Amino acid sequence: MLAEFDLIRRYFMSSQEASTASNGVTLGCGDDATLLMPQAGQQLAVSVDTSVVNVHFPREAPAFAVGHRALAVALSDLAAMGAKSRWCLMALTFDQREFVDDEATHLWLADYARGFHTLCQQHATTLVGGDVTSGALSIGVTVMGEVPVGEALTRSGAQPGDLVAVTGALGGGAGGLALWNKGERELAHPLLRRYLLPEPRLAAGLALRGLATAAMDISDGLMADLAHLREASQVGAVIDVAALPLADELESTLGREAALKAALSGGDDYELLVTLHADDIAKAQQRLASLGLTLTVIGHCCETLGISASDQSDLSSYVNGYAGWQHFSGDTP
Amino acid sequence: MLAEFDLIRRYFMSSQEASTASNGVTLGCGDDATLLMPQAGQQLAVSVDTSVVNVHFPREAPAFAVGHRALAVALSDLAAMGAKSRWCLMALTFDQREFVDDEATHLWLADYARGFHTLCQQHATTLVGGDVTSGALSIGVTVMGEVPVGEALTRSGAQPGDLVAVTGALGGGAGGLALWNKGERELAHPLLRRYLLPEPRLAAGLALRGLATAAMDISDGLMADLAHLREASQVGAVIDVAALPLADELESTLGREAALKAALSGGDDYELLVTLHADDIAKAQQRLASLGLTLTVIGHCCETLGISASDQSDLSSYVNGYAGWQHFSGDTP
């Protein structure tokens, strides 16, 4: 069995060294703590997410995807704040007894580290701390980003009249999970990619600074997360179910109604949910288009607390008085 | 089953609110990320530690101790850097099926949170992020501290001729574990306290700034951790086994030889291991005495890499050419 120190050095430190000096890291991994130099005039945005085997990802998921996904879901929280990602810490717990032999363990770890590091590099994020322990497979990722004082996006700024919009497409996370459960293993499948290799919308978060009145990421599903935003902003929302942007191949795979339900409450999409003044929507869409991303208006905020559907779709009753509301207010819907 | 959001709010947010405004927290828990305002001229010291049930603590350990200990071992890394602790994030994974009923779960969580918060308050540390997931019991704690630029203690500054010293007493962690395994459950027992409720030496770390040439905390055991320090500083060390400060009741509980072995390699002590110029030792001891702590000289650094015992104790051969060295240098001892 590899000692923790060797393991961290072998899989997680070498590829980081090059990027360390250029990213505010005064003293890198290998001491009791890492020393970082924050930039003046910036606030730190910090968040932690744990990914547990068979809860957040299947045990048979490719190791590359496990590493990518654990970091992606944490970075998604920085995206939702409009923060620039800078540093992360990773606590990996895994049980060597789960692996057939040492060769398999090494292959898994190398592939896992490659998934984690590749996403680090894509988002100029330096791994500055790690811990490796023995136990059921689980990954805790702490992310640290920076945002100029006063410019962070929060959940609480939405006003009645603001438009509600989402980046990219919805339902892919749930659609991909459904496919995985049916035995699909081809990572090139667009839905499986959405589920196992989600892309944190960091560039979109930065682009929406100064435009979005509120923002959060969609991890639990649009309806549940919109309930958090409505609660924090003390507004209601009217959603146009027919306007929901559906992930590629979602409708052809699941059928129309299941596809819409996946988009409404499936979760694991890691798109951004934002509110904006109607005047700003064209500018926001332009900025995101330059990043190759869409921003789709799916409704608007209103004064009457709660949520309802604006159209007469079959799912109107599914949306109207969504039970999530009750959970937070204690009121009947 | 409690929703994650409710659970975090119920057990972990309420008691934090009072301390939030005064500790650089611009936006507290409840959004996608927390916003912090670091102080100008300070470096951030960050570290993560995971505590896994039946690996780092017994399943039957009191919940208060589980919460205290998970934070304590993480804070100990900040102490070793001479950093002032400011913030922490906690990722709690626990399996509700492990608990007999809902009442037991609530009691456990409340007691766990009390242990965690009490130590937070003792060290002016604000919980600024959390995640609660379902799975085998495990706690990941990320700690964030601050230290003036250039003043951090590291592992790499020891020079031949420096004295080697430790705070407090050694062997209590291993002694407490041995007692626990024999059925002792009385937390007032000094050894059990050392094992289950270790005190991170944050005040000592601050007091040793400007005096210690190198520092680290003793988590894996004196010999193993001294090997890390020797490797980082490229020095050897000569240890006086007879000078090791033993934890209260350790010798009477385990006998002389087992007590010394516990002090040399038992681990879980979370004392600080430091090196200092001989001229500075009296001043350092004075500063620590004012904190109610001892600082005991246990040896000195030398040019010849490796480790040896200076005395003729029965354990000299146990120390001489400690195998840990081989592990890091690839050389034969």
> Known binder of ligand: residue B220?
yes
H or E element that contains A103? helix A102-122
Mean pLDDT on B39-64 = 95
> Known binder of ligand: residue B217?
yes
User: Would you state the pLDDT for residue B313?
Assistant: 75
Architecture label for domain B163-327: Alpha-Beta Complex (3.90)
Per CB-CB distance under 8 Å, the chain B contacts of A78 are 32-33
**Is a pLDDT exceeding 80 seen at residue B78?**
yes
* Nearest CB to B155; choose among A5, A31, A81: A31
Neighbours of B251 (CB within 10 A): 18
CA distance B108 to B97: 13
User: Would you state the pLDDT for residue B105?
Assistant: 85
Place of tokens 């240098």: B329
pLDDT digits (tens, 9 = 90+) for B219-273: 999 999 999 999 999 999 999 999 999 999 999 999 999 999 999 999 999 999 9
State the smallest CA–CA distance between residue B253 and chain A in angstroms. Answer: 30
Mean pLDDT on A316-325 = 67
What is the SS3 assignment for A70? helix
Per-residue pLDDT band for B11 (boundaries 50, 70, 90) equals confident
| Domain boundaries A163-328, CATH class | alpha beta
State the smallest CA–CA distance between residue A34 and chain B in angstroms. Answer: 5
pLDDT digits (tens, 9 = 90+) for A134-173: 889 999 999 999 999 999 999 999 999 999 999 999 999 9
Instruction: With CB atoms and an 8 Å threshold, state whether A89 touches B142.
Output: yes
> Known binder of ligand: residue A180?
no
Amino acid at residue number B317: S
User: Would you state the pLDDT for residue B1?
Assistant: 46
Instruction: Please calculate the CA angle B158-B159-B163 and round it to the nearest 5 degrees.
Output: 75
State the smallest CA–CA distance between residue B154 and chain A in angstroms. Answer: 7
**Is a pLDDT exceeding 70 seen at residue A230?**
yes
Instruction: With CB atoms and an 8 Å threshold, state whether B327 touches A3.
Output: yes
Q: Which CATH superfamily is domain A4-148 in?
A: PurM-like, N-terminal domain (3.30.1330.10)
Per CB-CB distance under 8 Å, the chain A contacts of B215 are 32
Candidates A1, A10, A31: best to mutate against B (most CBs of B within 10 A) is A31
Question: Which residues touch B22 (CB under 8 Å, ≥6 apart)?
Answer: none
Q: How far apart are the first and last CA of chain B?
A: 56
Q: Which CATH superfamily is domain B4-28+40-148 in?
A: PurM-like, N-terminal domain (3.30.1330.10)
> Known binder of ligand: residue A209?
no
Per-residue pLDDT band for A93 (boundaries 50, 70, 90) equals very high
Q: Is A48 or A96 the better-scoring residue by pLDDT?
A: A48
Residue of B nearest to A9 (CA): B328
Per CB-CB distance under 8 Å, the chain A contacts of B327 are 3
Kindly list the domain boundaries of chain A, sorted by start residue. 4-148, 163-328
Question: Which residues touch A291 (CB under 8 Å, ≥6 apart)?
Answer: A203, A204, A207
Q: Is the dihedral of CA A104, A105, A109, A115 positive or negative?
A: positive
**Is a pLDDT exceeding 80 seen at residue B24?**
yes
Instruction: With CB atoms and an 8 Å threshold, state whether A27 touches B154.
Output: yes
State the pairing for strand pair B25-27/A307-309: unpaired
Neighbours of B267 (CB within 10 A): 19
Phi, psi of B326 (to 5 degrees): -50, -45
User: Would you state the pLDDT for residue B326?
Assistant: 35
Per-residue pLDDT band for B104 (boundaries 50, 70, 90) equals confident
What is the SS3 assignment for A237? strand
User: Would you state the pLDDT for residue B290?
Assistant: 98
Q: Is A143 or B106 the better-scoring residue by pLDDT?
A: A143
**Is a pLDDT exceeding 60 seen at residue B75?**
yes
Residue of B nearest to A225 (CA): B32
Q: How far apart are the first and last CA of chain A?
A: 56
CA distance A10 to B117: 36
State the smallest CA–CA distance between residue B75 and chain A in angstroms. Answer: 10
Q: Which H, E and C letters describe chain B, residue by residue?
A: CCCHHHHHHHHHHHHHHHHHHHHCEEECECECCEEECCCCCEEEEEEEEEEEECCCECCCCCHHHHHHHHHHHHHHHHHHHCCEEEEEEEEEECCHHHCCCHHHHHHHHHHHHHHHHHHHHHCCCEEEEEEEECCCCEEEEEEEEEEECCCCCCCCCCCCCCEEEEECCECHHHHHHHHHHCCCCCCCCHHHHHHHCCCCCHHHHHHCCCCEEEEEECCCCHHHHHHHHHHHHCCEEEECHHHCCECCCHHHHHCHHHHHHHHHHCCCCCCEEEEECHHHHHHHHHHHHCCCCCEEEEEEEECCCCEEECCCCCCHHHHCCCCHHHHHHCCCC
**Is a pLDDT exceeding 60 seen at residue A16?**
no
Residue of B nearest to A139 (CA): B140
**Is a pLDDT exceeding 80 seen at residue A54?**
yes
State the smallest CA–CA distance between residue B169 and chain A in angstroms. Answer: 20
Q: Is the dihedral of CA B272, B277, B283, B286 positive or negative?
A: positive
Structure tokens at B185: 């459950």
pLDDT digits (tens, 9 = 90+) for B171-220: 999 999 999 999 999 999 999 999 999 999 999 999 999 999 999 999 99
Per-residue pLDDT band for A3 (boundaries 50, 70, 90) equals low
Residue pairs between chains A and B whose CB atoms are closer than 8 Å: 189
Per CB-CB distance under 8 Å, the chain B contacts of A4 are none
